Structure 1
């Protein structure tokens, strides 16, 4: 058993018993335990199968490719309709709601689906990078900044460009450019510190 997950569960205020029960089911399956995104993750052959966490009103399992599960017991929900494509959640608000055999069946089916290669592949954001006049002016005045910007990934370029472009006032756009210049030159993304 992974000590990080034991520590994670020990720190929980809500649903500690439920987390322990769910973990007891998961550790007896051919899954590797790890911590990803700050929560327990269960992995099969290098692929994320599911995560587990507690919240204020429920404890949940979410299946990364849950859209492919049959869900004959009608336990899965899509927490963000029209946004989430593959992820499906299984929620429990008390230990009595957890059917060990049913949870086990869903996880085994998720492993089978993984083995069969069933997966929704992420789609690339093809939205163009819109460079505001103020940002272009900064590029014209500072070639190091421009070169560093275009060495970034498209996603990072898009983050910075939108950060500047969405400001309403010109002064705000200029102050944002001043703020992001050292980050761009350092090759960092706008939101790297949150990732």
Structure 2
């Protein structure tokens, strides 16, 4: 146990008992405990294997390369269509964790083996992401914006495409595009300052 992250397991939350039990199970597999992105992260030789995190309605183990794990029972969840590699094992009841300790450990050991093998999840190419029609129209009217967008890194392009495609209403998409035009023209990503 890493004493520098004890605060995470001591904080008052509806999931306190759950995350403490998950911690005990994960540590029994020999992984190293560290803190990443504000959550307990478990690594093997510095490589991320699994993360414990809690949300409003559940707590979970996040397997970084969960898409490569064999999941015959359908216990792993893809958080959204945009998530490519990671998969979650979600919990709402302490007894579910207790009853699934063997399955949890099996996933952890398999995740370690996947990481040791060097396997990677094939990433979706930027060209495979849909470009909203509104954005296509803006690019036609403003070729400089289109050129600036194409000059962005693939990750920045994907970030914008996902952000612009998320709203259902066209006016929201338009306002998002207008807001971020200066960022795109400056070569900045969605979250760059």
Q: Give TM-score scaled by structure 1 length.
A: 0.66
Looking at structure 1, the residues matched to 37 and 88 of structure 2 have their Cα atoms a distance apart, in angstroms, of 16
Q: How many residues align?
A: 184
| Structure of greater Rg | 1
Q: Which residue of 1 aligns with 2:97?
A: 98
Looking at structure 2, the residues matched to 168 and 189 of structure 1 have their Cα atoms a distance apart, in angstroms, of 22
Q: Which residue of 2 aligns with 1:9?
A: 9
Does the Cα contact within 8 Å between 2:126 and 2:157 map onto a contact in 1? no
Question: What is the aligned-residue RMSD (CA, Å)?
Answer: 4.0
Q: Which residue of 2 aligns with 1:22?
A: 22
Looking at structure 2, the residues matched to 105 and 34 of structure 1 have their Cα atoms a distance apart, in angstroms, of 21
Residue deviations 1:99-132 (CA, integer Å, cap 9, x gap): 4444333312221222123332212121487875
Q: Which runs of 4+ in 1 moved over 4 A?
A: 80-86, 127-140, 145-150, 166-169, 175-178
Looking at structure 2, the residues matched to 177 and 91 of structure 1 have their Cα atoms a distance apart, in angstroms, of 35
Distance 1:157 1:33, change over 3 A: same
Looking at structure 1, the residues matched to 39 and 179 of structure 2 have their Cα atoms a distance apart, in angstroms, of 32
Q: Give TM-score scaled by structure 2 length.
A: 0.66
Q: Which residue of 1 aligns with 2:122?
A: 121
